[in-house]
Structure formats: C-alpha cells, structure tokens
Structure 1
Amino acid sequence: MVQEPQSFHEFMPDKVWKWKILEEKVEKVLSLHDFQEIRLSVLQDSQVLQDGITALIQGQEADTAMKGVLSLSLPDDQLSLLSLRPEGTISVLHHTARITNPGEIHRFYYSGPMFRRINNQQQMEFYQLGVELLGSESILSENEVISLGMKLCKTLGLNEVRLDLNSYGCFTCRESFFSDLNKYLEEHKSEYCNSCYRELSTNPFSQVHCANPDCKKSLQEGPHIYDYLCNSCKTDFNKVQKIQANLGNQYKVNPNLNKNFAYYNKTVFDFIAKHKGKEIIIGGGGRYDYLSALITGKRIPAVGFYLNLDSIFEIMESRGLFEEKDPEFTVYICAESPNLEMMTLQIVQELHSQQIKTIISPECRPAEKEIAIAKKKDCPIMLILRDDNIREGKILLRNLVKEEQKYISLRDTLPSIMLAKKAMQS
C-alpha cells in the first residue's frame, strides 16, 4: 500500500468528485466485460470468515491468521458472531453457492470499505475493488481476469503497470513444497524474527512485510513453490505467460510473490505500479478452485483479483489525473425580505422541473454579501427576491458574468433563466 490509514475514512466534497470519476471509469470497463455489481454487507458472519481464511491451516496457526480480522465484541469482551469484512471473496462464494447450478458462469464485482488489523493491533479501513469470475477453471477465464485488471489500471492512467506472476500449484505440488519448507524453517529458525517465523509457519505463502535483512535473505534462499510445480501446473503457467505477453502486458515471474490468504492455487499475480520513485503493489489475486468446496461443500472453481482503491486514488491525485468538469449552470436564489420562503421554494421547484441546479441562501443578508457568496459558488445568475418587488409581480435577475441586472416579471422567471443558460452555453 502507498500508506497506512491512521483512522477510518471520511470523504468530503473536495475528494468525493474525484472518487466518482474513478468509480465511473471502473464501472464502464467492467460493464464491457459483462461483470455484474453485487453489494455485500460490511458485517460478516465471523464463523464463515474463519472457515475461509483458515481453510488450509489448522490449530494455533489458524488462530494467528484470524487475529487480523476486526470482530465486534460484547461488553464482557466475549466475541460476537459478527466481524467487519476483511475481504469479499469468502462472502461471494457463500452467496454464489446458494444460487449457482453446474456449468453456470458468474461474473461479479463489488467495492467499498474493508477492515483489518495491522500487526494485530492498529485498526485499518481501506477501500477495495473485488472482481470474481466463478464457475470456470479454464486458462481463458484466468487470462480474461488478469487482462481485465491490467486494463482497469491503464484506464485509470497507470500506464506503466506490470504483472508479477507466480504459481502456487495444486495439492500434488504443495505436499513436497510444504514438507521441505517446514524443514527449512526449523533449520533456519534463528535467522527469522518471531513474527516472520510465526507467519510462515501459519501460511507458507504469507505476504510478510519485514525490514529485517536476515529474514529477507533467508526467504529468498529458501524453497519456492515455483520449483515444485508438476508438469500440468508448469504447462498451465507457461500458457498464462505466453498469453499475457501476446496481449502486450508487461510481466515478470516472481518466485517470492506471496499472499495474505492461504486459499489460492495455481496462478497468482500482483499489479505493480510506480509511486514516489518506488514500485508498490496496487492489487493482485489468483485462482482459488478449492476454497468453495472447503467452506460451502459445493465445488466452484474461481479466479479473481482486488485493486486497492486508496492506493490508486493517491497515485492518480499525485499525477493530476482528475480533471474537474466545467461548473454546472447554477442559479443562486436569495431573499432580502422575510416571509418569502414559499415564493423562494416555488421558484426553485419550477427551475428544478427543467433540471436547472439551484443554490438557496437560507438567510436574509445584504445584497453585497449574497453576490460574494454566489460568485464563490461559481453561479453565473442570481435571483433576488424582495417583498416590494414581489407585490409588483417582479423579481431581480442579476447576471454575474456581465455584471448587469434587470427586473423581470415573475411569470417570465423560468423563460428568462432558460434564455440566459442558452446564451452562456453557446
């Protein structure tokens, strides 16, 4: 990640318009690939999450893996049955298992806040996009998903993005790898910090973030699953590389590519971008054909990825990739006399019937102050209501672009505004 959030998100208008641009671009690309949006609850069943996260690990190691999940607690510190979602894949599989039939293909995506603990202590919220293709174990589905992730990154302006690829093999490949890795960890235990040793013992594919040079060195020198792949897994992995190369996607085989969750098999990947002179992971994913059967009893081959939207947003903002649209034509309406609420709202209602945006001043203030506010809000037109004018059936229309004003008939308010809008947009 680019940075670790220190608190929960609060997006204000100066950021929200940028988020909408990012989200609209993402949704447009996904719709071209026939991915359907689904909306998952932020609250998840703790037991369902535990079954998924610990699907391939047991005992104390499973308890360690669950410490990153933010669960809700009762006053007596007993854990409730609910947790804040740390990811979306497990929930998607549970929902899909209830609706899918053999042979069906489902393309889903979702986005929103996820929650985890950093180093089992600090609470962290982050925004994430999840994309899942369910029901196929073909090489084509794998490459469709990987290519889609690359296309999304490039559409958002991250043209230098590249792939890191690895393979976690199948159960046959893993048996020898796990055995040799456990022996290696035990023999080199003194070279690892407690945290890294515990994480790798829990999940051999764990994505450890350690600055200790001894840990890094030992990790690189130790066994890698890439060297244990069976002939079938090697053939499939070579196909993935060939297809991505022919699609023009830059990639690198990275035997040290690891993941936080142990449920992946075969191809795994990361999306790498540059930010502030460094290469960072902005997303990633892989195939997880075994997971559904382990947690739902129903086999659903699947492949998917996530994109860290916080990281991508920060990169886009630093590169000036958010272009603010020209201000929408907006009419500023104010009353300089009391008891004109009904008239004000009637005028607003009439303007809204023609999709004309308005800003209402809720206070009675001097004209100079109202004009200053209207200009600050980029409103080209003002309507000023005064009690004596209303009694005469007229209203003051001020053009803030030309710095001129005139009285118009109340019944001509909408036509006059429409005419002013047409003149300013021509």
Structure 2
Amino acid sequence: MAKPKYTTHLGMVDILPDESPKWRALEQIIHEEARRFNFEEIRTPIMEQTELIVRGVGQLTDIVSKEIFAFEKGDSHYVLRPELTAPVVRAFVEHHMEQRGGSQKLYYIGPMFRAEKPQKGRQRQFHQFGVEVFGSDDAVADVECIAFMIRIYKRIGIQNFELLLNSVGDPESRENYKKALTDYLQPHYDRLSDLSKNRFEKNPMRILDSKEPEDQDIIKDAPVILDYLNEETEAHFEKVKAMLDTLGIQYTIDPHLVRGMDYYTRTAFELKSPDLGSQDALAGGGRYDLLVEDIGGPSTPAVGFAAGMERLMIACEELDIHLAEPKKVDVYFITLGEDARKWALKQLSAVRNEGLSATMDYMGRSMKAQMKDADRENASYTVIVGSNELEEGKFTLRNMKESEEEMLSLTDIINKLKKLA
C-alpha cells in the first residue's frame, strides 16, 4: 500500500469512527455528573494570548519553557492553549462572572496542545476535562472537586487508583519553606541535574517535581513543606482531610507533591493508577487563590482539577472496560430495483422520525452485498423491498440475530421496532 501524501502532524491523532463512540460515552458521563454536582459548562477558544499563559502557568514551568505552541500574527502573540485553568480564569475576569453571585462552579471538556515528545497516553494534541470553582476559600470546595473527580472514575469502573494529597502553603509559608529547602539543597548543588540547577535560584520547590535519577536521593531527605505551614494554612489542610474522611475517600499524604504549575496555593492533589505503568497520573489539581487577582481580576479564591482523557482511555483498555456498546443500526433497508430504492429513501425519514436509526445501501449493490453490508453495520433488522413487496404493501422484516422473517406493513414494522428499541 502506497504511503499517503498527507498525514497528521507528529503527536496528533485522528479519532476514527470505531473509537469516537467511546469518546462520546465518556463526555456524556462527564456532562451527567456535572449536572448532578450543579457545575455549569464553559467553552473557551483554543488560542489565547501568550502573555496570559506565561503569567498564569509560570515562566519557569516546563509547559512555558519548552512545550507551548506559540506564534505571531501581526503585532499579536498567540498560543494554542496548553491547559485550561488560565483561560477559564481569563474568561471569569473578562466577563465579570463574580457578579453572577455565589460560587461559580464551572467545568470543561476540550483539546489542549503541548510540544512535547509523544508517548503512550501523551500526545501533542490531547484532551482534558476538569472543573474550576471560584469564590470559595472553604475546604468544602476543595473536597467537592476531589469528589467529582473520583466519581467520574468510579462510575466508569476504574477502582484501582490512589489519591495523593499535600498542601503547598500560602505565600508566607512558602517563603519560609523555600529558605529551608534552599539551605538543604545548597550542599548538594553540584550533584543536582542541570534542570534542577536551573530551578535552584528561581523556584527551588520545582526541584521536588523532578523525575531525574540524580535528583531522587537528594529529594527524599529534603525538608517537607507541611512542617512550615502557618496556622491558617494548616487549619485549612486539616479541614480538607477531615472532610475526605467524612466522605470515606482514602488518600495518601505526599509532602513532595507540588504539581507542575506555579499558581497552586494550599491544597494540591493527584490521582494515580498503577494500570497506566510509568505514566500513571490520571488527574490532578489544587487551589490557586492568587491567580485571579494576578491576571487582573478581583481577589478571588479558586480551586480545580484537570484530567487527561487519553490516559483514561488507556486505563479502560488495560482493565477491559467498554465505555460504549458496539455500533448497531435498528433497521437496514435492502432494496431490489430503482423503484424500491426511491421508496426506501423516502421511508428512512418516517422511521427516523420515530426515534429509530435507519440506513440503506448507497452504492446500488446486489441483494447479497447489501445483506453482507447490513451484517457489517450490525443491523438488528433488515426490511427487504422489491417490486412485489411494493405492490402488496407488505415487506419482509428479517431479525438478523435470530434469522427469523415475517411479512408486515411498514406501519406494523415501525410499531414492532419501537417496542423492541
């Protein structure tokens, strides 16, 4: 077979018809659970101002330093969104959504873009769903986000996961901790990876996020931020843990969990599954009480999470979880002759108007080929139409699973199919 002239870009994948039902099923689950939690959907453009992403995500993050798709058009600087928290915050500020009153509980589903090395479960165009809650600094908002996140995975059937939990403190706590961390890391500086050396002066907490082998032995004995929380931040963290206990949500404290964004404050969390191998993160998030004000909005506490949909699909494959039923069509019209094709074409609308799925051959093939195609389309029934059937007004309804046939009028066929659908 000749190589196609045009192919997708590196790290960008077509979702073909055999796969798209899984995506629709997952999206439907997210929409249904969002309604139950009283979250409202928000949709933002896939392009944002580069400055917004740099300011929101953080200049020193891997996303900004290595992974964004940025370009210019005239005097404007654009970026394909690498995540959705900063864009949703931008929309919150731009449209003065705090004026709607109460907490704003938003959710989203959509594609993101990062120029990283493609690997299993990580593409350059990938998809996330997530939530953002604005206006509440109460621990209940943190816990509701976590509960929503876990509910999605449990509903799908994924039970083998671990919730990691930490507090990354408020600005006061972080400054005290950064000093202690810097003092600890200084004697080990020459042994750090080049990436961690670069982070040492600018943001030493990001070193805790390092996956480089040479950093691991150093990190494991580093001081932990939980020992440096001030009274208010520690009290918030205790409330989060107590509420999770109330809901029966198990968690593991990970004092080195800092997440990959600079905007997090207080609560940070991550959901992992061993079924994903080395790339085991399913979802993650936390609180970002300073970000709204930082990009020009009113002082507004906020918390949220994001989850990778490709990772979730991989977990489903590993666990043999089927998100969608096999494709099928309720009725396939088998036509013999041009008059029968014209009649069937007209009747498709009548059948579809009753809420049934219906199709016919588009290629004028033989009866044998049409029956084979009906089987490929997983048709529940076929209606065989020829000149005799048109004259008598009765048609052969064939049950494709049981190989049973009966002669019925179109009205009787529709009524029977409606009862069985």
> Same fold, TM exceeding 0.5?
yes
Residues 398, 127 of structure 1: alpha-carbon distance in 2 compared, 3 angstrom cutoff = same
Is the 8 Å Cα contact of residues 130 and 307 (structure 2) preserved in structure 1?
Answer: yes
The answer to whether residue 416 in structure 2 is matched with residue 419 in structure 1 is yes
Q: For 1:283 and 1:51, locate their aligned partners in 2 and report how far apart those are by CA, in whole Å.
A: 23
Instruction: Report if aligned partners of 1:205, 1:260 keep a CA contact under 8 Å in 2.
Output: no
Q: For structure 1, list consecutive stretches of 5 or more residues without a partner in the other structure.
A: none
2:87 alignment partner, one of 85, 91, 103: 91
After superposition, the C-alpha distances for 1:52-75 in whole angstroms (9 at most, x for unaligned) are 123xx6xxx47984432111356x
1:27 matched to which residue of 2?
31
Deviation at 1:99, TM superposition (A): 2.3
Aligned to 1:257: 257
Given the superposition, is the C-alpha separation of residues 279 and 318 from structure 1 closer, same or farther in structure 2, using an over 3 Å criterion? Answer: same
Residue of structure 2 in register with 1:8 after alignment: 12
How many residue pairs align between the two structures?
407
Gaps of 5+ in 2: 1-8
Once residues 220 and 191 of structure 2 are traced to their aligned partners in structure 1, the CA distance between those partners, rounded to angstroms, is 12
Task: Give the secondary-structure state (helix, strand or coil) at the position aligned to 2:349.
Answer: helix
Distance 1:246 1:190 in 2: 46
- The root-mean-square deviation of aligned C-alpha atoms, in Å, is 3.1
The 8 Å contact of residues 135 and 302 in structure 1, kept in 2 or not, is answered as: yes
Equivalence for 2:310: 310
1:40-189 mapped onto 2 (5 Å cutoff): 40-54=44-58, 61=60, 65-72=64-71, 81-97=77-93, 98-101=95-98, 104-118=102-116, 124-189=124-189
SS of equivalent to 2:321 = coil
In the TM superposition, residue 138 of structure 1 has moved relative to its aligned partner by: 1.2
Closer, same or farther in 2 for the Cα pair 1:148/1:385, shift >3 Å? closer
Distance in 1 between the 2:385 and 2:166 partners? 69
- Are the equivalent residues in 2 in contact too, given 1:153–1:161 (CA < 8 A)? no
Structure 2 distance, partners of 1:342, 1:244, is 63
- 1:71/1:79 contact within 8 Å kept: no
TM-score when normalising by structure 1: 0.85
What SS is found at the alignment partner of 1:286?
Answer: strand
> 1:205·1:262 contact (CA, 8 Å) conserved in 2?
no
C-alpha change, 1:79 and 1:6, in structure 2 (3 Å) is farther
1:117/1:124 contact within 8 Å kept: yes
Counterpart for residue 330 of structure 2: 330
Which residue identity is paired with 2:134?
Answer: L
Deviation at 1:182, TM superposition (A): 3.8
Q: How does 1:279-358 map to 2 (within 5 A)?
A: 280-322=280-322, 324-325=324-325, 330-338=330-338, 342-358=342-358
User: SS at 1:13's partner residue?
Assistant: coil
What is the letter of the counterpart of residue 397 of structure 1?
T
Identity %: 25
Which shows bigger deviation, 296-305 or 183-192?
A: 183-192
| Letter of the 1:9 counterpart | V
Q: Secondary structure at the match of 1:344?
A: helix
Q: Whole-Å Cα distance in 1 between the matches of residues 118 and 24 of structure 2?
A: 32
Query: Is the alpha carbon distance of 1:164 and 1:243 closer, same or farther for their aligned partners in structure 2, counting shifts above 3 Å?
Result: same
Judge conservation of contact 1:336–1:367 (CA < 8 Å) in 2. Answer: yes
